[in-house]
Structure 1
Amino acid sequence: MTATTAPTTAAHNTAKSHDPDAAAVGPILLSVAVFLAGWATSIAIWGIPGLYIPALALVPVIWVMLILISRG
């Protein structure tokens, strides 16, 4: 009984071609999921103030992010 293997080519060998953008997707999605879970927990604990106080606190953060994005 002989085992045959297909020759590996560059198109099939994706382990060595590592895309840094694809590697950053996991931590970003995890951070967003943790943030949303924390926000949902604050709503469950404190009700309506748990909904709008974090949103109000994020206004300056989003404002600075928009300025940074617009500057290039």
Structure 2
Amino acid sequence: MTASETATRETAQASHAAHRDPDIAIAGPILLTVFVLLAAWAGSFVMWGVPGLYVPAVALVPVMMGLLIWISRG
């Protein structure tokens, strides 16, 4: 590979990175966060059994209620 081929490849990669879709760029961190939260929930079930499964769900009831109120207000 010559120096000019390397420069051309780097320019093409920089051009491609500049035209990334912002929706695709944000999807990775969101999916990672969801995966980590689900893994933590599964870990709590493994460590504490059934209470580790339902206590986090019960604790999130006020959060979901607030989210539903926030959505309904527009």
Aligned residue identity for 2:21:
D
CA distance in 1, matches of 2:64, 2:18: 37
Instruction: Give the C-alpha shift of residue 27 in structure 1.
Output: 0.6
- Pairing 1:44–2:46 present: yes
Count of residues in correspondence between the two structures: 60
CA distance in 1, matches of 2:27, 2:33: 10
In structure 2, stretches of 5+ residues that fail to align are 1-14
CA distance in 2, matches of 1:63, 1:16: 40
Match of 2:28 among 15, 26, 29: 26
Instruction: Give the C-alpha shift of residue 18 in structure 1.
Output: 2.8
Percent identical among aligned pairs is: 60
In structure 1, stretches of 5+ residues that fail to align are 1-12
Give the 5 Å matches for 1:1-72.
14-72=16-74
CA distance in 1, matches of 2:48, 2:63: 23
Deviating runs (4+, > 6 A) in structure 1? none
Aligned residue identity for 1:18:
R
CA distance in 1, matches of 2:70, 2:22: 22
Instruction: Give the C-alpha shift of residue 36 in structure 1.
Output: 0.3
- Root-mean-square deviation (Å): 1.4
Instruction: Give the C-alpha shift of residue 14 in structure 1.
Output: 4.7
1:65 to 1:17, Cα distance in 2 relative to 1, 3 A: same
